[in-house]
Amino acid sequence: MHRISLLRQLVTQLALIVVGFFVILPIWGMMRLAFDGSLIGRPTEFRLFPKVWAFEPFLRVLDKPYQSVDFAVILKNSLLVSFGAALIAIILGLSLAYAFARFRFRAQQTGLFSILLTAVLPPVAFMTPLYIIFSILQIRTSLFALILVYAAFAMPFCIWNMRAAFQAVPRELEEAAFLDGAGDFKTFFFITLPLALPSIAVAGLIAFLMAYSEFTLGWLFVDKADNVTLAMAIYAIVTNQYLGGAQPWSYLGSLAIIMSIPVVVIFLIFQRTLLERMMFGSVDN
Amino acid sequence: MLMNKHLRTIFHVLAVALVIAVAFGLRTRAAEKLPIDYDEDDYLRAGQEFAHLIRTSDWRGFLDTNYRPEHPPLAKIAYGLAFLHLPERALVSDVAITDSPAQYLPPDQLHAARTEASIFGALTAGLVALVNPLGGLMLAIHSFTIKYTSQVMLDGLSALLSLGTVMAYVQYKKKQRTGWMITSAVLLGLTADSKFLHGTIGFAILLDWFFLAKNNKDVKRFFKSALFWGLLSIAVFFAANPFLWPNPIERLQVTLDAVRVTTTNSNVANAGYVAWQQLNWLTMSVPWPQNGAFIFLADTFIALLAVIGFGRLWKKERVFGIWILLEIFILLVWRTKWPQYILIVTAPLALAAGEGILTLWQPVVEWWKKRGSAVPARGPERSEERRALPWLIPGLVAFALLTLIPLVFQFAISLTDFNSSSLRDGLNGGIWRAVWEGLTGQARASGFDISARSNQVNFTGLNTFSPVFQYISGRADGWSILYFNVMWTVLTVLLQCGLGLGAALLLWQKGVRLGKFWQALFILPWAIPELIGAQMWLNIFHGDWGWLRLAAEKFGADSIFGFVSSALHASPSLWLLEFLLPAIWYGFPFMMLAASAGLKTIPQEALDAAAMDGANAWQTFRAIVWPLLTPLIIPALIVRGIFSFNQFYLFQTYYFQDATLATLSYNVFNPNSGYSNVSGGYFAVSAVINILTVVILMIFVTLFNRWSRAGEGVTYA
């Protein structure tokens, strides 16, 4: 195939610009709000650019974004919950994933089906029972409960993906270790696990992102301002605005941007791997 | 063999008779119980007028009589015939078309007219049963069809005649006898004389006929026959419509004026139905309390079966498939969205549903035949299972604790009436007590009542499932959450795939400038958390302070912004765009990446070979690119479909609570806020919705397993 002609290049670029405009438009809308220092409440007039360029909303948000709780506390909550959930999901799911990847046993297909099914359930489907169970156990409002909720939500997905990761480790390596006299556990910890670790980390990353950007379950479980995560804070500002709250909309904008930046960076770096994981292993390596 | 054939015929006849009996029984039952509905008084009065004319032998009167002239007179005359053996009653009063249904109609005449409608309805089901008894049965129990073929409506006769038209055409197609063609033309004319809308099946026949002729390279003869057929049906239409005789043009004008009034009156505007409302009606059972007139409320399942069986029906007899597609298209574009109009399509729909049952039945039959003959697959080795055990046990314990037990617990909740009022009891073991007592038979399952909130948990068994399913599949205001959820899934996935594939193909061309930059830019929406993306779009579309609204204020109502803004708010359906655009925005990058990954696997040689053979871009795409893409695109579509089906944050941000099952479940559950129709904190209802979600997602997962190799068992790579 030849390189495309100039005309085709032009038409292509034009089409790409249209798509790019569609992509950027809503993002730009939020940016404009975030950098507008003149906003007292919600925006009242149409503007393409901020009326008064200001960085102040960012500083204010980085100080106390929600109900006089420090940004550091909220960020800490977010990271704690997300890391905790990812870690629990990975560690607890590890052995099951390996079992499904390497051994044959009865009801294996049924098991796989259940894991995949639970992996695609909406978070709401876990929320109902966990809310009640944690209420019975009287731990519902703690951050630990939130960690468990997100872990429960992310675990089936992690199991599914770690299974694929283990499958990708060449069987011969394990057999060689086995011949050298290593038992199942030794082989797993010294051969298979280290080789699968990068893929497992990606599964963990996705679990982390799930918890990081979740807010509705959070608001159902948490009732103290001190236990709020970033996503929850954003949603709180939004609902607060609906009820006629007085915070400038620039806070919402800047918080949204602050929250998105790390995720966007992660996605740009790992796009191909994340795509594979999110397609539950349908992409060939 | 001959005996077998006779037996089959006897069985077929018996089946048809059975369907007619069931259909007639269900319809007369409904005719007795149904309250008086809109329009029944009108058609009853029209029938009274005709009965009077016949009784007094005033044949000239037929020329000027057609009460409610928006509809032709034939079906009304048929009602008149039913009144002949009854004493004459005072004319039902002439009221505005928008008035509420009449309080009182003469009982003997109402009974006679409704019985006549029931006979037409039962015969229609019988005709369908001639083609496929299962389809006949589906039509017999279809609640919307029952409703409008047991009330004094025009659809009973029209549906019967239109089905007759198509079946006569099918006979003509098979046997090539002119008699059948003439029968079909005559019936079509009569159909149009009963209700214009039903006459549109003529176009379905023409389309099928044309395709057939094109296949046989016999288009010329087709035009001749079809012209004769069409003219004959028009002649019959005029001959059997005495109202037109005195002055056809003027009388058609009267009709058109009346149609305009019925399609633009205040009731139509107030109903505020969405453009796809008819699909809501088609996928729900009759949602109004109708005095227990219906035994089966299974229309949703009939629609589902019809979707499953459509392909099979198309292969068997294409004209029924064309009928479904054409009439659904007409229902979508026709301005008024009253539910009785769906009767123009329920007959072929029931046929498709019958084929759907056969489609689902097939695997069962095959399994039954194969049973025993297959060699049992060798089970896994015992020793291997023993080796797997130390890995399985800890994992299973964790998986069970965090995932399975909550889901089982959820099922337990769904068997009770647990809600915010009984929270204290439930948290102190009330749920287990209620379920235990219920399952061991110590407590009877109580009925489910959304408005009652007991402060003690009670066992309801599966009693909650039916009302909740009725609610999500069809509400009294005509909205169907289930249908919207499915439509949303299909629409968004197709649009995301379209834009994603388009972008991927654009970037795949050789030597496109700035390719890396564009790709990175296009990925952004995928990376932005859904909550924030929804905020960004809300910031554009919000009715008070959205960018669009502010722009409309600044540049005036005549500007493009003003036009778009007011169009979005004035239309009962365009709001969908405010959700579709964000959904495309979120989802297309994923599809783009999946398509790009697929495009990279296409060997250059294949493309070069296609170019050498002189294939144009479209041919190359169809023959080479698309087939190689599907193994990646289809799993990606299903994954995106699952995301769309579960879509929650977008709708929650816009505060649209009736959009998806996930949104509904959350808002019904949330004890702190509430749901628009019932206040929140109804845990049991939310649990039921979640279980329905699980069942639906099982279908998705099964599809995914079929289309993707990712779900295969152990691989020894």
Read out DSSP for B294-344? Answer: -S---HHHHHHHHHHHHHHHHHH-HHHHHHHHHHHHHHHHSS---GGGGGG
Residues of B in contact with A24 (CB under 8 A): 521, 524
Decide if pLDDT at A42 tops 80.
no
Alpha-carbon torsion (B32, B33, B39, B41), positive or negative = positive
What string of H, E and C letters represents the secondary structure of B149-167? CCCCCCHHHHHHHHHHHHH
In tens, the pLDDT along B413-457 reads: 999 989 888 888 888 888 889 998 988 888 888 888 777 788 888
Kindly determine whether residue A125 and residue B410, on different chains, have CB atoms separated by under 8 Å: yes
- The distance from CA B336 to its chain's CA centroid, rounded to whole angstroms, is 17
**A90-99, A250-259, B87-96: which range is least confident on average?**
A250-259
Decide if pLDDT at B35 tops 80.
yes
Picking from B376, B465, B369, B375, the residue whose alpha carbon sits closest to that of residue B417 is B465
Q: Does domain A65-247 have CATH number 1.10.3720.10?
A: yes
Distance spanning both ends of chain B, measured CA to CA: 55
What string of H, E and C letters represents the secondary structure of chain A? CCCCCHHHHHHHHHHHHHHHHHHHHHHHHHHHHHCECCCCCCCCCCCCCCCCECCHHHHHHHHCCECCECHHHHHHHHHHHHHHHHHHHHHHHHHHHHHHHHCCCCCHHHHHHHHHHHHHCCHHHHHHHHHHHHHHHCCCCCHHHHHHHHHHHHHHHHHHHHHHHHHHCCHHHHHHHHHCCCCHHHHHHHHHHHHHHHHHHHHHHHHHHHHHCCCHHHHHHCCCHHHCCHHHHHHHHHHHHHCCCCCCHHHHHHHHHHHHHHHHHHHHHHHHHHHHHHCCCCCCC
Percentage with pLDDT > 70 across chain B? 97
Domain final position from B336, B358, B380: B358
Kindly determine whether residue A118 and residue B601, on different chains, have CB atoms separated by under 8 Å: no
Q: What's the pLDDT score for residue B319?
A: 96
Among candidates B388, B509, B522 on the partner chain, residue whose Cβ is nearest the Cβ of A103: B388
CA atoms within 13 A on the CB side of B191: 23
Decide if pLDDT at B711 tops 60.
no
Q: Give yes or no for a contact between A83 and A148, defined as CB atoms under 8 angstroms apart.
A: no
Q: What φ, ψ does residue B446 adopt, rounded to 5°?
A: -85, 155
Domain final position from B657, B680, B703: B657
Kindly determine whether residue A260 and residue B528, on different chains, have CB atoms separated by under 8 Å: yes
Joined tokens for residue B378:
């060798």
Length of chain B: 717
Picking from B361, B293, B420, B403, the residue whose alpha carbon sits closest to that of residue B33 is B293
- The distance from CA B206 to its chain's CA centroid, rounded to whole angstroms, is 25
Å from A4 to nearest chain B CA? 6
Q: Does B680 touch chain A (CB under 8 A)?
A: no
Q: What's the pLDDT score for residue A173?
A: 84
Asked if residue B427 belongs to a domain, the reply is no
Kindly determine whether residue B518 and residue A20, on different chains, have CB atoms separated by under 8 Å: yes
In tens, the pLDDT along B468-513 reads: 999 999 988 899 999 999 999 999 999 999 999 999 999 988 888 8
Quote the DSSP letter at residue B625. I
Q: Give yes or no for a contact between B596 and B629, defined as CB atoms under 8 angstroms apart.
A: no
Joined tokens for residue A280:
């539950």
Kindly determine whether residue B711 and residue A112, on different chains, have CB atoms separated by under 8 Å: yes
Percentage with pLDDT > 90 across chain B? 55
Amino acid at B566: S
> Which among A35, A94, A132 is the top mutation candidate for probing chain B, defined by the most B β-carbons within 10 Å of its own β-carbon?
A132
Joined tokens for residue A97:
């994933």
**Average pLDDT over chain A, rounded to whole?**
84
In tens, the pLDDT along B507-544 reads: 988 888 888 899 889 989 988 888 889 989 988 998 88
Domain count, chain B: 2
Q: What is the mean pLDDT of residues A72-83?
A: 90
Amino acid at B505: L
Quote the DSSP letter at residue B419. -
Q: What's the pLDDT score for residue B290?
A: 87
Residue of chain A with shortest Cα separation from B554: A46
Asked if residue B434 belongs to a domain, the reply is no
Asked if residue B342 belongs to a domain, the reply is yes
Picking from B79, B36, B34, B71, the residue whose alpha carbon sits closest to that of residue B54 is B79
CA distance B146 to B139: 8
Residue B608: count of CB within 10 angstroms of its CB:
11
Check: complex ipTM more than 0.90 = no
* Interfacial B residues in 602-621 facing A (CB < 8 Å): 604, 607-608, 611
**A4-18, A40-54, B68-82, B167-181: which range is least confident on average?**
A40-54
Decide if pLDDT at B660 tops 70.
yes
Q: Which residues pair with B674 in a beta bridge?
A: B679
Residues of B in contact with A159 (CB under 8 A): 395, 399
Among candidates B529, B597, B655 on the partner chain, residue whose Cβ is nearest the Cβ of A263: B529
Q: What φ, ψ does residue A53 adopt, rounded to 5°?
A: -65, 130
Å from B595 to nearest chain A CA? 10
Residue of chain B with shortest Cα separation from A232: B531
Q: What's the pLDDT score for residue A8?
A: 87
In tens, the pLDDT along B288-305 reads: 988 889 999 999 999 999
Q: Does A30 touch chain B (CB under 8 A)?
A: yes
Q: Does A137 touch chain B (CB under 8 A)?
A: no
Residues of A in contact with B431 (CB under 8 A): 132
Q: Give yes or no for a contact between B302 and B349, defined as CB atoms under 8 angstroms apart.
A: yes
Decide if pLDDT at A187 tops 50.
yes
Under 8 Å CB pairs connecting chains A and B tally to 332
Q: Give yes or no for a contact between A151 and B398, defined as CB atoms under 8 angstroms apart.
A: no
Picking from B456, B385, B369, the residue whose alpha carbon sits closest to that of residue B418 is B456
Kindly determine whether residue A125 and residue B715, on different chains, have CB atoms separated by under 8 Å: no
Q: Does B383 touch chain A (CB under 8 A)?
A: no
- The distance from CA A116 to its chain's CA centroid, rounded to whole angstroms, is 18
- The distance from CA A268 to its chain's CA centroid, rounded to whole angstroms, is 14
Picking from B411, B406, B465, the residue whose alpha carbon sits closest to that of residue B439 is B411
Q: What's the pLDDT score for residue B377?
A: 59
Kindly determine whether residue B384 and residue A116, on different chains, have CB atoms separated by under 8 Å: no
CA distance A173 to A176: 5
Quote the DSSP letter at residue B345. T
Among candidates A27, A167, A216 on the partner chain, residue whose Cβ is nearest the Cβ of B715: A167
Q: Does A6 touch chain B (CB under 8 A)?
A: no
Picking from A121, A124, A88, A117, the residue whose alpha carbon sits closest to that of residue B402 is A88
Q: Could you tell me the pLDDT band of residue B270, with boundaries at 50, 70 and 90?
A: confident
- The DSSP line for B469-492 is HHHHH--TTS--HHHHHHHHHHHH
CA distance A130 to A116: 20
CA distance B628 to B622: 10
Picking from B178, B280, B157, B288, the residue whose alpha carbon sits closest to that of residue B225 is B178
Residues of B in contact with A122 (CB under 8 A): 646, 648, 661-662, 693
Return the exposure string of B124-135: e unless at least 16 CB atoms fall within 10 Å of the residue's CB, then b: bbbbbbbbbbbb
CA distance B203 to A270: 54
Q: Which residues pair with B640 in a beta bridge?
A: none
Q: What is the mean pLDDT of residues B325-335?
A: 95
**Average pLDDT over chain B, rounded to whole?**
89
Among candidates A12, A126, A234 on the partner chain, residue whose Cβ is nearest the Cβ of B531: A234
Q: Give yes or no for a contact between B453 and B421, defined as CB atoms under 8 angstroms apart.
A: yes
Among candidates B532, B535, B714 on the partner chain, residue whose Cβ is nearest the Cβ of A102: B714
Q: Please indicate whether residue B27 or residue B682 has the higher confidence score (pLDDT).
A: B27
Kindly determine whether residue A23 and residue B522, on different chains, have CB atoms separated by under 8 Å: yes
- The distance from CA A247 to its chain's CA centroid, rounded to whole angstroms, is 27
Asked if residue B396 belongs to a domain, the reply is no
* Residue span of the structural domain in which B181 resides: 9-90+105-262+273-358
Rg (CA), chain B: 30
Q: Does B380 touch chain A (CB under 8 A)?
A: yes
Q: Please indicate whether residue B423 or residue B375 has the higher confidence score (pLDDT).
A: B423
Q: The CATH number of the domain where B554 resides is what?
A: 1.10.3720.10
Decide if pLDDT at A161 tops 80.
yes
Angular region, A256: left φ>0, alpha ψ -120 to 50, beta rest? alpha
Domain ranges of chain A: 6-56, 65-247
Highest mean pLDDT among A163-167, A267-271, B103-107: B103-107
Joined tokens for residue B593:
């990446």
Q: Give me the residue label for tokens 């079909």.
A: B184
Helices (H), ranges, B74-106: 74-83
Q: Give yes or no for a contact between B134 and B305, defined as CB atoms under 8 angstroms apart.
A: no
Quote the DSSP letter at residue B446. P
Asked if residue B610 belongs to a domain, the reply is yes
Joined tokens for residue B594:
């999946």
In tens, the pLDDT along B208-263 reads: 999 999 999 989 999 999 999 999 999 999 999 999 999 999 999 999 999 888 88
Kindly determine whether residue A104 and residue B403, on different chains, have CB atoms separated by under 8 Å: no
Burial class (CB in 10 A: 0-12, 13-18, 19+), A232: buried
CA distance B467 to A29: 43
Picking from B546, B146, B316, the residue whose alpha carbon sits closest to that of residue A249 is B546
CA distance B219 to B222: 5
Highest mean pLDDT among A255-264, B37-46, B159-168: B159-168
Q: Give me the residue label for tokens 């655009």.
A: B581
Q: Does B583 touch chain A (CB under 8 A)?
A: no
Q: What's the pLDDT score for residue B715?
A: 36
Residues of A in contact with B526 (CB under 8 A): 267
Q: Could you tell me the pLDDT band of residue A179, with boundaries at 50, 70 and 90?
A: confident
Q: Does A235 touch chain B (CB under 8 A)?
A: yes
CA distance B44 to B46: 5
Å from B615 to nearest chain A CA? 12
What pTM was estimated for this model as a whole? 0.90
CA distance B12 to B104: 43
> Which among A171, A187, A279, A285 is the top mutation candidate for probing chain B, defined by the most B β-carbons within 10 Å of its own β-carbon?
A279
Å from B147 to nearest chain A CA? 36
Q: Could you tell me the pLDDT band of residue A2, with boundaries at 50, 70 and 90?
A: low
Q: What's the pLDDT score for residue A285?
A: 44
Domain final position from B633, B657, B681: B657
Among candidates A3, A121, A213 on the partner chain, residue whose Cβ is nearest the Cβ of B530: A213
Decide if pLDDT at A3 tops 60.
yes
Q: Which residues pair with A53 in a beta bridge?
A: A36
Joined tokens for residue A20:
């790019």
Q: What φ, ψ does residue B186 adopt, rounded to 5°?
A: -60, -45
Q: Could you tell me the pLDDT band of residue B710, with boundaries at 50, 70 and 90?
A: low
